[in-house]
Structure 1
Amino acid sequence: MSFLTIFRSIAFLEGLSYLLLLFIAVPIKYSMGNESYVKMLGMPHGFLFIGYVVVAFLIKSDYKWTNKEFLFVLAASIIPFGTFYIDKKYLK
């Protein structure tokens, strides 16, 4: 399995977990006072985020990303739907 395949998988899962946190878990926490979804999704999302950053560093030279492109790839992980955009624009 290549680092690209791993990165694309992590990017998808990281993006999905971020959306679930932002649009489902956090609203439930503040509207119903139920923190269980945030606790359930928070740790896996954190591990996926770290994995996204680490593997991005590993494939940076393979894709010959400039520093600006690399920072954009990293910044996409904190923007909703950002990792999906990176997959479509930079990884296909």
Structure 2
Amino acid sequence: MTGETNGTTELPLVISVDDHVIEPAHLFESWLPAKYRDRGPKPLTAGIGELAYIGGKYKFTTDPDGQLTDWWQYEGDLFPTSGSSPPSASRATR
């Protein structure tokens, strides 16, 4: 099976099941019902600290001098949105 062509090269149709969707930062602020917005995920930009594997989960820390990345803050935990494991596999601490 093939995908689109540009006139010279035929590209294979590729569907990656390992890619992740990154939600826009305003998603929960805009679309959660008003009574839940204060409890919904909040976007945050902070430096990446250290990564450790503890109790079967990756744990991240933030560091003001670390490389900046975007995080979701939810129920006291931080979840980096790029260059890391998905939220279900990671827990961040401060």
Q: TM-score range by the shorter chain?
A: under 0.3
Q: Normalising by structure 2, what TM-score?
A: 0.25
Higher relative contact order, chain-length normalized (CA < 8 Å, sep 6+): 1
Q: Which one has a larger percent helix, Structure 1 or Structure 2?
A: 1
TM-score of the superposition, structure 1-length normalised? 0.25
| Larger Rg over CA atoms | 2
